[in-house]
């Protein structure tokens, strides 16, 4: 792969995105084996550096690295020198100096991963930076859609909820539009960022318009503090106006599928029956997340040369 870092989907070519998605297929086969381990990344070290709480993304990256035989080490900001005031750049240099080949960074501020690339030589994988991007989440969403629909091109994808604060929405918007999907976003006007139309998104303040005839529905997590911040009047009203329930989902195509990046607030942005229903791919997303992250780690560190190793 021609890129050194994975910072976001904005600057990735269609070819690179396709290459990652193509590589995730064989990776998924490895996970389904009885003996889930290949020697591909033996001798490589992957450090996960997380400045925000995370369950699935962190575990997903660590398992992805382990299934490929990389050594992994994790740093949680709350129990590190960060609380002693160490800067992000110094932390990056320290981790790099210990010999890490890849730093997987989760950070509450936009641009943190890009900042690291300017001060270290190691591969940086953005595992979510503020409201900016969460590329592996979008890639796993796209992989999940592809598994069922065989194509992204021409699909209508509805993304519902707090678009303003969502790095998942931004990465999906870049990735899905690059692969030819028609992306509709819907949320309360106080939770819609300005200018998305200029990126090719169709923007609605009513979810019904986005859902009408959709092939894919992505419900986003609503951070509960948005109400305290005065962005919505109440969770109750939010659920009533924007929550994904069976009645709203009926507006989508009969074969529409439902995704959620997790963790879910059941009963807020999505009802339990939809989350657990037959059209929900939420559990599949988690499995695919490991496969896609294996593909990313592999392609960044080994590249195209050793493709046969993974089989």
Partner 1 sequence: MKILIKGGTVVDPSAGTLRELDVLVEDERVIKVEAGITARGATVLDTAGMLVSPGLIDMHVHLREPGYEYKETIATGTAAAVRGGFTAVAAMPNTNPVADTRAVIEYVKKQASVAANARVYPVGAVTRGLEGNELAEMGEMREAGAVAFSNDGRPVVSAGVMRRAMQYARMFGTPIISHCEDDTLVDGGMMNEGLTASVLGLKGIPAAAEEVMVARDLLLAEAIGCALHVAHVSTAGSVRLIREAKRRGVPVTAEVTPHHFVLTEEAIAGYDTNAKVNPPLRSKADVQAVLEGLADGTIDVIASDHAPHADYEKAVEFDKAPFGLLGLETTLGLVFTYIVEPGVLSAPQALARLTVNPARVLGLAEPAINPGAMADITVIDPNHEAQVNPDRFLSKSRNTPFGGFWLRGQPVATIVAGKIFKFDQEGR
Report the nearest approach of partner 1 to the CB of residue 162 (Å): 13
Residue 170 binding partner 1, by CB under 8 A: yes
Q: Judged by CB under 8 A, which of 5, 44, 58, 107 binds partner 1?
A: 107
Both tokens assigned to 272: 């339990």
Report the nearest approach of partner 1 to the CB of residue 296 (Å): 20
Residue 199 binding partner 1, by CB under 8 A: yes
Distance CA 275, CA 219 (A): 10
Report the nearest approach of partner 1 to the CB of residue 196 (Å): 6
Residue 112 binding partner 1, by CB under 8 A: yes
Residue 114 binding partner 1, by CB under 8 A: yes
Q: Judged by CB under 8 A, which of 5, 58, 132, 248 binds partner 1?
A: 132
Burial class (CB in 10 A: 0-12, 13-18, 19+), 147: middle
Residue 10 binding partner 1, by CB under 8 A: yes
Q: Judged by CB under 8 A, which of 54, 56, 82, 130 binds partner 1?
A: 130
Residue 26 binding partner 1, by CB under 8 A: no
Q: Which residues bind partner 1 (CB under 8 A)?
A: 10, 87-89, 107, 109-112, 114-115, 119, 129-133, 167, 170, 193-196, 198-199
């Amino acid at each position: 792969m021609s890129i050194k870092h994975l910072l976001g989907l904005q600057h990735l070519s269609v070819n690179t995105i396709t290459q990652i998605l193509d590589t995730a297929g064989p990776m998924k086969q490895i996970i389904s084996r009885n003996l889930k381990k290949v020697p591909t990344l033996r001798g490589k070290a992957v450090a996960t550096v997380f400045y925000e709480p995370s369950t699935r993304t962190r575990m997903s990256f660590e398992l992805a690295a382990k299934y490929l035989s990389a050594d992994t080490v994790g740093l949680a900001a709350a129990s590190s020198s960060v609380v002693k005031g160490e800067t992000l750049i110094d932390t990056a240099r320290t981790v790099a100096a210990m010999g890490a080949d890849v730093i997987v960074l989760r950070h509450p501020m936009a641009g943190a991963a890009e900042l690291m690339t300017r001060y270290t030589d190691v591969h940086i994988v953005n595992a979510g930076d503020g409201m900016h991007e969460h590329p592996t989440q979008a890639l796993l969403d796209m992989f999940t859609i592809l598994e069922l629909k065989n194509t992204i091109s021409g699909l209508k994808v509805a993304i519902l909820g707090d678009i303003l604060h969502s790095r998942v929405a931004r990465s999906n918007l870049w990735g899905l539009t690059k692969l030819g999907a028609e992306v509709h976003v819907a949320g309360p006007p106080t939770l819609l960022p300005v200018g998305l139309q200029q990126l090719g998104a169709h923007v609605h303040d009513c979810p019904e318009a986005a859902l009408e005839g959709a092939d894919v529905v992505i419900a986003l997590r609503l951070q509960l503090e948005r109400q305290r911040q005065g962005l919505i009047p109440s969770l109750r009203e939010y659920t009533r106006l924007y929550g994904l329930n069976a009645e709203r989902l009926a507006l989508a195509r009969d074969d529409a599928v439902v995704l959620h990046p997790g963790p879910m607030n059941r009963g807020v942005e999505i009802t339990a029956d939809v989350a657990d229903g037959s059209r929900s791919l939420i559990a599949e997303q988690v499995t695919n997340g490991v496969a896609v992250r294996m593909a990313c780690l592999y392609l960044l560190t080994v590249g195209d040369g050793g493709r046969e190793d993974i089989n």
